[in-house]
Structures are given as C-alpha cells and as structure tokens.
Amino acid sequence: MLPFTRFRLLHWSLVIVFLVAYLTGDDGELLHVWTGYALIALLVVRLLVSLSGAAGFSPLIPRRATLRARNATTASRVLVLALVLGIIGTSVSGVLMIDNARAIGLAAAQAVPAAHASDGDDADGDERDAGLIASGSLEELHEFLANATLALAGLHVVLLFGWRRPLALTTLFGPGRRRTVSRPAATPSTPSAES
C-alpha cells in the first residue's frame, strides 16, 4: 500500500469514528462508548506511526524551525497538534466518565442476555446509562472538548481548501491520473524552394 494511501486510510478512519462518537454523544450510550474506545485505538496507532517516522506521515509535534516560520505550513502543523490534543483530552475525560467494567459488562450482556443479572440500577436505585459515573463538571469538560475539537476540525477543512486546495482534493479523492494534452507531432520542415 502506498504511504499516502495509508495516511488517507488512517485519517478518514479517525474522521469517521470521531463523527460517529460525536453524533451519538447524547443518545448513543454503548455505541458512543465503543466508538470512543475505537478513537483511542486509532489515535494510538497515529501517534506510533508518527513517532516511527513512517513514510507519508508527518511528525505531529512541529519542530522549532517550523514554528519560527510564519506561514501556512506552520499554521497547519499547530492546528493538527491542537486537534490531536483535543481528541486526547476528549478521550481521557470520556474514559474517566464511565465505569469501564460496567460498559464492557453491558456489551457482554447484549451479546449473551443471560449474562446480565442486574436491572441497571446502582446502589441508590438510580438508573445508569452505559456505565456512566460522571460528575457534572467532568461531563461538561468532555462536551466542551468535543465541541472544541469539532470546531478545530472545521477550521482544518477551511484552511485546507483555502490555502492548499490541491492537497485537500488529493486527500479527498486520491492522486488521480494526470491528463496529458495531446499535441500534434512536429513535422520536419521542408526546405523552401527559392530557386
């Protein structure tokens, strides 16, 4: 697989999983939790690939020389770093909000209904969704970080189409084929008859 194709595959996997997690945030319960886990796994893969220096993947942390230059490349590197930090913050706050053992148990109970012995009430008799144990402030932080990350992703798209349209189109649709313009073949010139 070509390096740029691997990058696109990982990039669009992150985009799709983030959007599914974002859109299922209020009502998705287990789907939201499991897409959050998938997002963490994809982010770990992205970080490892970036640290390994694999072809096609730029480093996530901009170098000092890059930061000194004030241009579109610097802005895009800083924006990508902010996106990664936003996803990390959202993921960490999400993991802290849930009872992971309970979420995994609920998933097992859906696969094998007899394995679920509880009726979903906690010790106080309150119903808990998908193992949520969040305090209000942690939930607000999680929502804020998710919204901020989505806003950064929107800015990322706007900047790509504003300053780097060819790169954005290549990322969306692939490298494509270069069109060659057929030109008439040059004919050898005939000596003129001036005699």
3-state secondary structure 49-79: HHHHCCCCCCCCCCCHHHHHCCCHHHHHHHH
85 DSSP assignment: H
Lowest mean pLDDT among 28-42, 76-90, 114-128, 162-176: 114-128
Full-prediction pTM beyond 0.75?
Answer: no
**CB contact at 8 A, 43 and 91:** yes
Q: What is the pLDDT of residue 127?
A: 46
**CB contact at 8 A, 39 and 13:** no
Mean pLDDT of 3-12: 78
DSSP letters spanning 146-178: HHHHHHHHHHHHHHHHHH-HHHHHHHHH-S---
Q: What is the pLDDT of residue 125?
A: 47
Q: Does position 18 have pLDDT exceeding 90, yes or no?
A: yes
Burial of 83: CB neighbours in 10 Å, binned 0-12, 13-18, 19+: buried
Q: What is the token pair recorded at 179?
A: 């069109």
Mean pLDDT of 83-110: 78
Distance (Å, rounded) from C-alpha 107 to C-alpha 31? 10
* Distances from the Cα of 47 to the Cα of 43, 56, 58, 144, 191, angstroms: 6, 13, 11, 23, 68
pLDDT digits (tens, 9 = 90+) for 125-161: 444 454 455 567 888 999 999 999 999 999 988 887 7
* One-letter identity of residue 21: A
Mean pLDDT of 100-112: 60
Q: What is the pLDDT of residue 14?
A: 92
Q: Does position 192 have pLDDT exceeding 60, yes or no?
A: no
pLDDT digits (tens, 9 = 90+) for 169-186: 666 666 665 444 455 555
Distance (Å, rounded) from C-alpha 53 to C-alpha 55? 6
Distance (Å, rounded) from C-alpha 170 to C-alpha 172? 5
Lowest mean pLDDT among 39-43, 122-126, 168-172: 122-126
Q: What is the pLDDT of residue 51?
A: 79
Neighbours of 161 (CB within 10 A): 13
Lowest mean pLDDT among 3-7, 72-76, 99-103, 114-118: 114-118
Q: Does position 5 have pLDDT exceeding 50, yes or no?
A: yes
Q: What is the pLDDT of residue 117?
A: 46
Average pLDDT across the chain, whole number: 74
**Helix, strand, coil percent content, the chain, rounded in steps of 5:** 65, 0, 35
